[in-house]
Amino acid sequence: MGAIVVVAAVAWWSSRELRPCERLDRWLDRSGCVAVHHVPGFVGNDALRSFPAIAFAPDGKHLSMVGTEVQRTDRPEDDKQPPPQRTALVTIDAASGALTGHTAEVSYLRGGLAGTLGVSWTGRYAAGVFFEPGWRGTASEDDGTLPKGRVRLWRLDGRPGGWESPVMELPRVQGMIFSLDETAVEAAGLWWDVRTGKRLQSRDQEAWGRRWGAREVASADGTVKAAWDSKAGQVTLSDARSGKVLRALPGDLGPDADVIGPWFHFSPSGRRLSMIATLRGSDDAALRVWDVGSGSRLLNLASPLLRTRSAWSPDERVLAVEAAGDSREEGSGVALFRLP
């Protein structure tokens, strides 16, 4: 068995107060932000390619996040020699911000990450690639040498279930993608059956699609497509099958905006769409949320503290967006926005 650390919430975490939104609201006027929670030493990492990277539990009371955990040391920060890090998955209470679960590889590594972790869309499952003890990222894939490890899946909802693959050679791939129907997971470039742990030889690509992505994405049922129209500087909704344009969503970025992204995220039912876009040359991330049926805008704000990863609550009334911290010590976390 590969070594995993699963840590329950420690006492000082449980006493943490709800993080107010004042610092975020320096940039946002009546943003709808209800809380900002940070996890010390935890840093979001888009390079991990884990989808989704943030997910609500089925009851909406907890959030699970995948990212990089930085080892805390007494040394000052040095960009030339970054501190040791590891991939981690944390679960927090959506109301209090208390840490209720933590999973990570035992060892921190310098010069890159080894294993990878992922969480499913409904927050029911988590999975990870865990390499054998003694491997410290020194194997070279260029000469055909691959590290040995296991793929492991477990449940986050307290129900029995889970599996572990045999020890095998696994590529050092930083990514884990769950299918929308949560029947399969891609780990280390291989496909696995979520329920049984059996290897899958192929996967229907339509079912494998996701409702989160950059510049163009489809709703979970595959009927509506959202795309960024760079010439007009707006978002266009169209029928995913016929290509017929349904409507253009109101926005204020303008046709001349040099946008990085944007990243779209349909709510589970497809009734709502969020967009996070960064303007080149600006530190601000623009967050927009629309009602897909009417085209009305539900949220319109910008902040340098927001990042690209997000999650919808099961009732689609709360949007969680990754929020940066002021330092590694404070750590990254999530800002929660309540929608009408």
In this predicted model, what pLDDT tens digit does every residue of 143-170 receive, in sequence order? Answer: 567 778 889 999 998 888 999 999 988 8
User: Which range, 137-146, 182-191, 284-293, 318-327, is most confident?
Assistant: 284-293
239 and 167 inside one domain: no
Tokens representing residue 121 in the block: 């869309």
In tens, the pLDDT along 85-100 reads: 777 888 988 888 888 8
pLDDT level of residue 30 (50, 70, 90 thresholds) = low
Q: Strands 168-169, 212-214: parallel, antiparallel or unpaired by DSSP?
A: unpaired
- Maximum distance among all Cα pairs of the chain, rounded to whole angstroms: 59
Q: Are residues 235 and 323 in the same domain?
A: no
Helix (H) or strand (E) holding 4: strand 4-6
Q: Which DSSP letter does residue 60 get?
A: S
Contacts of 83 (CB under 8 A, 6+ apart): 70, 71, 72, 73, 75, 77, 108, 110, 328
> What number is the average pLDDT over the span 131-149?
63
Q: Are 137 and 126 in contact, with CB atoms under 8 Å apart?
A: no
- Please, which residues have CB within 8 angstroms of residue 1's CB and are 6 or more apart in sequence? 164
Is residue 253 located within the same domain as residue 319? no
CA 241 to chain centre: 28
Distance CA(118)–CA(85), nearest Å, equals 17
If asked whether residues 43 and 172 sit together in one domain, one would say yes
Quote the CA–CA distance of 235 and 87 in Å, as a whole number.
34
Q: Is pLDDT at 27 greater than 70 in this prediction? A: no
Whether residues 166 and 243 fall in one domain: no
**Amino acid 224: pLDDT:** 93
> What's the whole-number average pLDDT of the chain?
77
Q: Show the domain range for 224.
A: 211-304
- Report how far residue 172's alpha carbon sits from residue 136's, in angstroms, rounded to the nearest whole number: 12
- Spatial CB neighbours of 126, under 8 Å, sequence gap ≥ 6: 64, 89, 103, 117, 118, 119, 120, 153, 154, 155, 156
The pLDDT confidence band at residue 17, using thresholds 50, 70 and 90, is very low
- Between 227 and 133, residue with greater pLDDT: 227
**C-beta neighbour count of 182 within 10 angstroms:** 14
Joined together, the tokens standing for residue 114 give 């080894």
Angstrom distance (rounded) from CA 141 to CA 138:
10
Split into its structural domains, the chain has a count of: 2
**The overall pTM is greater than 0.85:** no
pLDDT score of 271: 94
Q: Are 68 and 45 in contact (CB under 8 A)?
A: yes
Note whether 42 and 103 are within 8 A (CB).
no
Q: Taking a C-beta distance cutoff of 8 angstroms, is the pair 192, 185 a contact? A: yes
Q: Residue 150 forms beta bridges with which residues?
A: 130
Q: Are both 135 and 262 inside the same structural domain?
A: no
When mean pLDDT is compared over 53-57, 248-252, 322-326, the highest value belongs to 53-57
Q: Do both 157 and 251 map to the same domain?
A: no
Quick check: 140 pLDDT over 60?
A: no
- Tens of pLDDT, residues 286-296: 899 999 999 99
* pLDDT greater than 80 at residue 111: no
Residues 55 and 132 in one domain: yes
* DSSP sequence for 169-190: E------EEE-TTSSEEEETTE
Q: Do 260 and 121 reside in the same domain of the chain?
A: no
CATH number at residue 264: 2.40.10
On whether both 203 and 216 belong to a single domain, the answer is: no
- The reply to whether 196 and 232 lie within a common domain is no
Which pLDDT value is given to residue 99? 85
Strands 318-323, 272-279: pairing is: unpaired
Taking 70 as the threshold, does the pLDDT of residue 205 lie above it? no
Written as one letter, the residue type at 81 is Q
Residue 64 DSSP one-character state? E
Phi, psi for 22 (deg, rounded to 5): -55, -45
Same domain for 162 and 239, yes or no, is no
191-194 LR contacts (CB < 8 Å, sep 24+): 192/127, 192/151, 192/153, 192/165, 194/120, 194/125, 194/153
